[in-house]
Structure formats: structure tokens, C-alpha cells
Amino acid sequence: MPESFIFIDALLRRPVPRTPVWFMRQAGRYLPEYRKVRERAGSFMNLCTNPELACEVTLQPLRRFRLDAAILFSDILTIPDAMGLGLSFAEGEGPRFAHPVRSEADIERLPRIDPETDLRYVMEAVRLIRRELNGRAPLIGFSGSPWTLATYMVEGRGSRDFRQVKTLLYDRPDLMTRLLDKLAEAVADYLNAQIAAGVQAVMLFDTWGGVLPTEDYRDFSLAAARKVRERLQLGAGESRIPAILFTKGGGQWLELQAETGFDALGLDWTCDIGQARRRVGDRVALQGNLDPVTLYASPAAIRERVGRILENYGPGSGHVFNLGHGILPDVNPDHVTAMVEAVHELSPAWHR
């Protein structure tokens, strides 16, 4: 019999006794135990590419908090790194690529990667984490979305105005489509390899979809995400692997997102979760959406805000509690405990 987890059940809108909870970037700098491992690794990339260390930091938050899922410790930019773009991380500046993708020739040169070979360290980490979890919680795999990967690949680094990637989209939509098609294929191959290695849910992080005008979001970012979804090998029945789509800043497009075939949509903190539920109906589950800054407030205020989100969602399954984006690096872990415990204590009333 397949293992039963309330996280999986909620994503598939099956009945659950309470609302499951995990949070984005739950393994990270806010934890002193993470900082020790990061120092031992010597660099962020060394940490990502060492399966034993990636396993250790993946499991750390589950030892400290009563969480309902683990998420693979990795980075969203592993695919372009494997394509040879020269990824590096400068302290305080974020990711950079030595070889940005700016021309038709650059796009045509991008190789098709073999995840089991070119990203073997990720697959080894997945297998090791599954073994160490030993059925305690399900493991989430993930990738950056094709559009989000394209933004970094074309800009060569993070951006405030996305002028390079948007100019490419506006001047040469055919080239942008070609780039996104290549990336959709790579992302699907990567997530399918993670599934084969043992992840039990997958999440597509469309971090920068929200910077686009509506028609461009629909025709480029969301169209590429749909192509990824169509290629995913998620199984069926009791062994079905749920897939989550999260577009930061994309709350105005939930109806479009619900048509893509993903099982759940992530919400950032700008969405009212009750309104979101009414808009999508029973087509998808919803994940979110506490403002990450709430965790700087007092435990009493955190509990009140958790209760407000649970009440706004209302009775029944289909909700996974999460932050509306990643946890901030200097949050007090005791405040995270307050959030998690509030979900455990307050949510059963909505599942009777």
C-alpha cells in the first residue's frame, strides 16, 4: 500500500483531519544548525552539490518543527548551470551567469541535459533523503519555471526591471518561444527524474511570472508551464503524485492557472485565500499564504493571522498552509514554532 500523508491528500483534495503545513525555504539561514553546515560546505554551490549535506539541511527543519512535508534542498538554477552558463553566487548579490543567453545562436547552442548524468548530485540527494525520511514525511521536488529560468539566463543575474528578457520577448517573440520550449522540455525531464528518484510531489516556482503583462503571462510564462505539466509522469490512483504551480504576483490569473492541469496553486500574501477559493472552485487545491514578514511579529499576532487565513479558507480539505513566499533569513525560529503550532491547534475545527 502507498504511504498516506495529509499533505498529499490535501493537494488532491481528499479529506484530512487538519490542515497540513510546510513553508518555502524552510531549510535556510534562519536556522543556526543550517548556518553551521553552510560554513562547513564553504559555499552555497558546494552545499547544493553535496548529497549528504543537502540531505542534512533538508531534514533539519523537520527535526525542529512539526511539519508535514520536506522539500529538497537545491536551487532553482540547476538546469541553466548544467547547460554550461557558468553559475556563481556573489555574497549579497545573488546568482550570476558568466555566459548569458542573448542571441539566436546562444539559444540554439543550449544542450539538452540528462538529469541523471548532468544533475546526478540532485538525484543522489533525493534518494538519500527518501531513505533518511523513512516514511516520516513526503518529499517535495521542484524546479524553476521555464520563464523564471529564462529571466536569469537572459539577464545574466537578478533584475529589477527585466529589460533584457522583456526586450527579447517583445522584439523576437519567436526566439523567446524557442527558448521557453527548450526549457519546458528540460524542466519536465528534470522533474520526471526527481519523481523516478523518489520525490512524492513536485512544485514549479514561477517566481517572475508576475512581472509580465497579462497576455504575455498567458502566452509565454503560463504556456510554458502548461507544456511542463503535459510532460510530467505523475502516475494515477493511490500513487498519484501531485503537482503545484506557484506564480509570485500572479493572483489576478488564478482562473487561467487552474486550467493548466496542476493539482494546486500557490498563493502569495497579496491574495485573499477565501476569494481565491471561490474563484477556482473545486478545480485545484490552494497553498499559502501568510505574509513572511508576519513572523517578525509576536507569537500572539502570528497565531491570530494564522487563524484568520484558516477562517478565510473555510471548512474542508484542499488547503496546505504555507507562507506567501520564502521565509526571511533572520526570523526567530521560535516564531516559526508559533506559526506551525497554531496551524496544528486551530485547523482541526475546519475539518469536522
201 phi, psi to nearest 5 deg = -155, 155
Q: Is 29 a catalytic residue?
A: yes
Residue (of 233, 245, 111) closest to 182 by Cα position: 111
Distances (CA, A) of 218 to 137, 151, 222, 223, 226: 35, 16, 5, 6, 10
Q: Is 226 a catalytic residue?
A: no
Pick out the residues of the known binding site for substrate: 25-29, 75, 152, 207, 325
Catalytic one of 38, 226, 277, 305 = 38
Catalytic one of 13, 68, 130, 152 = 152
How does 315-342 read in b/e, with b if 16+ C-beta sit within 10 Å?
eebbbbbbbbbbbeeebebebbebbbbb
DSSP secondary structure letter of residue 281: T
Other Cβ atoms within 10 Å of 258 Cβ, number: 19
First to last CA, the chain: 26
Pick out the residues of the known binding site: 25-29, 75, 152, 207, 325
Coil/strand/helix, residue 157 = strand
Distances (CA, A) of 202 to 57, 195, 250, 333: 19, 8, 19, 26
DSSP secondary structure letter of residue 154: H
Q: Is 172 a catalytic residue?
A: no
Determine which helix (DSSP H) or strand (DSSP E) holds 204, and give its type and residue range.
strand 201-206
150 phi, psi to nearest 5 deg = -60, -40
What is d(CA 322, CA 325) in angstroms, rounded to the nearest whole number? 8
CB 327 within 8 A of CB 24: yes
Coil/strand/helix, residue 94 = strand
Q: Is 152 a catalytic residue?
A: yes
Catalytic one of 9, 18, 30, 75 = 75
Residue (of 320, 248, 296, 236) closest to 16 by Cα position: 320
Q: Is 38 a catalytic residue?
A: yes
Q: What angle do CA 266, 271, 276 make, to 5 degrees?
A: 75
The catalytic residue positions are: 25, 29, 38, 75, 152
